[in-house]
A and B are shown apart, each in its own frame.
Chain A
Amino acid sequence: MNCVELQQSLAELEDSGSVEQLAHLRACPACSALVRDLNQIAAAASRLQAANEPSPRVWNSIEAVLLEEGLIRPQRASRWLIPSFGTRWGAARWLVPMAAMLLLALGISLRRELQPAQLGQQASVAISAANPMDLNDDDLRQEIADSAPEVKTQYEENLRQVNDSIRDAQGVVDETPNDEDARRSLMDAYQQKAMLFELAMDRSAE
């Protein structure tokens, strides 16, 4: 079970959570923190006055929308992983899980829609941070122009290799923008290129 499946299953938990759910929560700090937060929200909600409770029609409308969207299924007699949800507050017990589900559904939906573009943007920001001077190969060649031929050959060869590595890493990022590993490889490749420029500049300064 992954994080998305766990979050989607929060409203349909049997008993105090299935083996899969509990195993995921033990292994995943983010989801266990989420459940902990929801428990805190539930605890805070239980302190609200009954007078603040909206009419049942509001809950019915929310439930109808969620059912229509397929975000929940018709409720069975069930108990919540977050214990206070199922016991304390009559009809108002829907308040917190509904709000949480709405937020989760919105969050998951936005995450799905925005992730590739957003992550691409993050990668490009990271790259521009690692690459503040807009590394230009001709600048490096100029830096080593007065060096011995064998030194120039070494720099040219390393420049070619690092450019290959950037191209390869960029290809993987383009194919799988959600691959954090690939983004890190791309950043490493740019940092290696920046280091090559730094070494060339050090040499020419000598």
Chain B
Amino acid sequence: MVSKRAAKLVTIGVIVAGTLVAESKREYHFSVGPKAGVSVMNPYGSISVKPSLNNTVVVNAILHSDKVEVDNSQNGNRVDIQSHLLAGADADSGRVDYEVLVPADASVTLHSSTGSLRAEKLHGDVSLEGAGAAVDVRDVSDAHVHVKTMNGAVNLDNIQNGHVEVDSLSGDVTLRSVTGPLVQVVSTSGRINYFGDFGNSGEYRLTSHSGDIEATIPEWTSADVSARSVRGEVHDDIPLQPKNHTWFPVNKGRAFAGTMGRVAVSSTVVLRTFSGKIHLRKRSEKQ
């Protein structure tokens, strides 16, 4: 009995030890100038980017097996990091998780098919792409934020003065306090949620095919709003001043158009879906 138990413990120990041996950590440092470019291509695994304290790029990588390597190179002000899959690597053994520190003004390009992509507290351009990657971008200002996903959920939070373009096929997209000259989301079947005030004088274009679109805005928002669902319904909790001109027929229940707040600082908001529902909702105090 004792020998069986000992054998089990030994087996578990060997497995744990094997896992620890297989998982390894790498760290790379690069000195860069202002507005550096940093690219991380990672087929399997997560990438998280945060600001560094000085003009250095620090890459911490956790490799989940010896079937994957990290290739890195610096060419002038540009740093490229790439997970290099070796023979026999799959989604588990080829996984690398990155935590990257970059100067806050760096332009960042992240790519992962399956892992999560996260960028925060930056003011350089951010481009994130991944088929199944969940995307989270927060506290970014004065920058382009471009996101492409197939079915990963996209969350953008506190993006100020951004040029934001999100393309998602079936993942849900949520924008909180996202403002800028251009905020555009195109989705095929994913749901689009906007929480915020549509900023000042920007263009906000939220489009889906079958996904619902919901915009929750404070009562004091200034915006010129057009909403249309070809086959679905539209609901508007906020009284709008009707517009004289629309580029589509305003059929009750299928479309609405109007202005709210101060015209001089109003943004243009276009909400459009084919068969989804559109709801322009007034923000409650709790939200």
Once A161-B189, A192-B188 are accepted as A-B contacts, the answer to whether A203 and B113 lie under 8 Å apart by CB is yes
**A163, chain B: closest CB distance, angstroms:** 10
Contact B169 A181 (CB under 8 A): no
**A191, chain B: closest CB distance, angstroms:** 7
**B274 neighbours in A (Cβ, 8 Å):** 165, 168-169, 172, 185
Contact B188 A162 (CB under 8 A): yes
Contact bitstring A168-205, B, C-beta under 8 A = 1, else 0:
11001000000111101100110110011011101100
User: A4 at the A/B interface (Cβ < 8 Å)?
Assistant: no
Q: From B23-31, B69-77, B244-252, give the one contacting chain A.
A: B244-252
**A159, chain B: closest CB distance, angstroms:** 9
User: With the chains together, A158 CA to B211 CA distance in Å?
Assistant: 13
Contact A181 B248 (CB under 8 A): yes
Once A165-B274, A168-B275 are accepted as A-B contacts, the answer to whether A192 and B151 lie under 8 Å apart by CB is no
Contact A158 B228 (CB under 8 A): no
**B230 neighbours in A (Cβ, 8 Å):** 168, 172, 182, 185
Contact B188 A189 (CB under 8 A): yes
User: With the chains together, A192 CA to B188 CA distance in Å?
Assistant: 7
Contact B210 A161 (CB under 8 A): yes
**B98, chain A: closest CB distance, angstroms:** 15
Number of chain A residues whose Cβ lies closer than 8 Å to a Cβ of chain B: 35
Contact B248 A168 (CB under 8 A): no
Contact A161 B170 (CB under 8 A): yes
Once A161-B169, A161-B189 are accepted as A-B contacts, the answer to whether A199 and B150 lie under 8 Å apart by CB is yes
Contact B188 A154 (CB under 8 A): no
User: A27 at the A/B interface (Cβ < 8 Å)?
Assistant: yes
User: A145 at the A/B interface (Cβ < 8 Å)?
Assistant: no
Contact B131 A199 (CB under 8 A): yes
Contact B228 A181 (CB under 8 A): yes
User: A155 at the A/B interface (Cβ < 8 Å)?
Assistant: yes
The winner among A151, A168, A184, A195 for most chain B CB atoms within 10 A is: A195
Contact bitstring B218-247, A, C-beta under 8 A = 1, else 0:
000000000010110000000000001101
Q: Which residue of A lies closest to B44 (CB)?
A: A206
User: With the chains together, A206 CA to B186 CA distance in Å?
Assistant: 26
Contact B150 A155 (CB under 8 A): yes
- Sample (22) of A-B pairs whose CB atoms are under 8 Å apart: A148-B91, A154-B131, A155-B150, A158-B170, A161-B170, A161-B189, A161-B209, A165-B209, A168-B209, A168-B230, A168-B274, A169-B209, A172-B274, A182-B230, A185-B209, A191-B167, A195-B148, A196-B150, A199-B131, A200-B131, A202-B111, A203-B131
Top 6 A-B pairs, shortest CB-CB distance: A165-B209, A206-B43, A199-B131, A158-B169, A161-B189, A181-B248
